[in-house]
A and B are shown apart, each in its own frame.
Chain A
Amino acid sequence: MNPRKLRLRSLFVLPIALASFSVAAQTTTTAPPPGRLLASNCFQCHGYDGKSSIGFERLSGESAAEIYEELIEMRSKSRPDIMDMHARGYTDAQIRLIADYLSKQKTTSTRTKR
């Protein structure tokens, strides 16, 4: 192999190695799950990750489709109660993210709906 070419290649390798190192430093941690911060708006009344046993309806254990449909339905109630009003604060895409996040939170005890 041409020694000059080799030298060039090794010059190239260093910055690439540095770049990949800094990328690695960033990716050793996992990104927060999508929808988690949005879904945390539910926790005040429905408990951490929707798992409350003392408050309003428990959300974890429901499917994403169930949560999504319930929230969408609430938005069109003509005499809104507090949750019907609240559901109007989120776009379809945001509701989908919330529903997806909550549906992935495993229930840990007998499901009691209140």
Chain B
Amino acid sequence: MKRRDFIRLASMAGIGASAFSWAGIARSATPAQLGTVPTNTGITGRVVVIGGGMGGATVAKYLRLWGGSGVSVTLVERETAYTSNILSNLVLNGQRTISSLQYAYSNLATRYGIKVLKGEVMAIDPVGHSVALADGSKLPYDRLVIAPGVDFDTFAGLESPTAQALVPHAWKAGPQTTQLRNMLLAMKPGEVFAMTIPAKPYRCPPGPYERACVVADWLKKNRPGSKVVILDANPGIIAEPVAFGNAFNVVHQGVVEYHPGVTINSIDATTMSLNTSIGNLKAKVINAIPPHKAGKVVVANGLANAGGRWAGVDVLTYQSTAAPGIHIIGDASATTQPKAGHIANQEAKVCADAIVRLLAGRSPDPSPITNSACYSPITSDTASWLTAVFAYDPASGTMLPVPGASGEASARSTENYKEMTKWFNTLMEDSFA
């Protein structure tokens, strides 16, 4: 029996860690392909990473791959596995399970020698250079990287936990995603699924439009006569306007009702109704995605110096503009780049490279490039794509889109849908394997 077959059988039989993705376990690169930690770089330092999402996992891995064994890396994360937001809309139509989107931290520990600590951060001491954990322990650092992702505002009317429990955002993959799937299953033909989209910036610009498509596609086949009503705070579709415009007006015509520029005044969870700037709406299911801000650890430690919501950073190093020695990557930082997993992975590499250079007494790379790419399902077997490349602009000190290098697929296709799985598997491998 080939090793690959054995692993596939083992995972089917429920042997092996449940937190592994079937995709990751059934087909994976060899350790030599994944890279090994060099022992001879001569670079030393202690780096603590808070948050094991796309950015945090990637920065931890590349600090070791590029910095070598002299750079000790401790990753602090409160969950035992990462649940991917990418592709989590496919849990809603039953094409994916939550467990197929989960990635354990064991590879980071065993392959790259990263110390993975399950714990909660209580406080950061930016002067004494240490992180205090809930269990009373302290982690000293030379450089701290924070990658906490996003936190959410609360809609008026949803202040109580009881009300919140009835109106999931499902914008962090996990129990709420499963809950929303179950709410969809409980719908009857002819009922309304209402969703709200917050004003930008929010995590994964095409994500809400993609969700509307996946849900509409499922309702059309399984609950005929039902509708998806989108209440978008933005003045129009902010990502892939061609693909989603076509999806709303042609592919899912009569199923999707799109309303741009809508303000949500309040949500009543007991009557399942929304009070909005275009009137009141009653729905069977309300999927309300609230306005976003940086994760709590950023706000609580005085690092949200961009409008009180996001962390201001120097994009050559991702070092905080509020506190030296602290770097903030991914969705929590205030940059001109989109908030999404693929580009968080690249920001993490820029940050790792900069930290390794700084620890060696060098200057950061003066002209970094980052890229964003993603595929969005439009139906259960077609998808579109979106890509952009960002280059450092010394005049503004920001990452600017390279002219002519941003765009979306000219049309949805089944080929794109297949490529989407490939893209997802390698992206997750680059971050967690």
Which residues of A come within 8 Å of B, CB atoms? 25-26, 28-32, 36-38, 40-41, 43-49, 51-56, 79-82, 85-86, 88-90, 94, 108-109
Contacts and interface: CB of A to CB of B under 8 A. Distances in A.
B387 A82 contact: yes
A86 B429 contact: no
Contacts of A45: 373, 422-423, 426-427
A90 B389 contact: yes
A89 B356 CA distance: 25
B interface, size bucket: 35 or more
A36 B38 CA distance: 15
Nearest to B422: A55
B265 interface: no
21 contacts: A30-B41, A30-B42, A44-B371, A44-B423, A44-B426, A45-B426, A46-B426, A47-B430, A51-B29, A51-B32, A52-B426, A53-B29, A54-B27, A85-B407, A88-B402, A89-B371, A90-B389, A94-B369, A108-B32, A109-B30, A109-B33
B29 A86 contact: no
B401 to A, nearest CB: 9
Interface in B24-71: 27-30, 32-35, 41-43, 62, 65-66
A89 B388 CA distance: 8
Chain A: interface secondary structure? loop
B405 A86 contact: yes
Given A46-B426, A89-B389, A54 B28 contact: yes
B125 interface: no
B361 A25 contact: yes
A89 B402 contact: yes
B353 A32 contact: yes
Interface in B407-433: 407, 409-410, 419, 422-423, 425-427, 429-430
Contacts of A25: 361
Given A29-B41, A85-B387, A48 B65 contact: yes
Nearest to A88: B405
Chain B: interface secondary structure? mixed
B345 interface: yes
Interface of B: 27-30, 32-35, 41-43, 62, 65-66, 342, 345-346, 349-350, 353, 356-357, 360-362, 365, 368-371, 373, 385, 387-391, 402, 404-407, 409-410, 419, 422-423, 425-427, 429-430
Contacts of B34: 47-48, 51
Contacts of A44: 342, 345-346, 371, 373, 423, 426-427, 430
Contacts of B35: 48-49
Given A53-B30, A54-B28, A55-B425, 9 more contacts: A47-B29, A47-B34, A48-B35, A51-B32, A85-B407, A88-B402, A89-B371, A89-B405, A109-B32
Contacts of B406: 85
B350 to A, nearest CB: 7
A20 B387 CA distance: 48
Contacts of B419: 56, 82
Q: Which 4 A-B pairs have the closest CB atoms?
A: A89-B389, A55-B426, A89-B405, A108-B32
A47 B426 contact: yes
A32 B353 CA distance: 8
Nearest to A58: B33
A100 B356 CA distance: 22
B429 A54 contact: yes
Contacts of B32: 51, 108-109
Nearest to B38: A30
A108 B365 CA distance: 29
A89 B427 CA distance: 19
B4 to A, nearest CB: 11
A56 B65 CA distance: 22
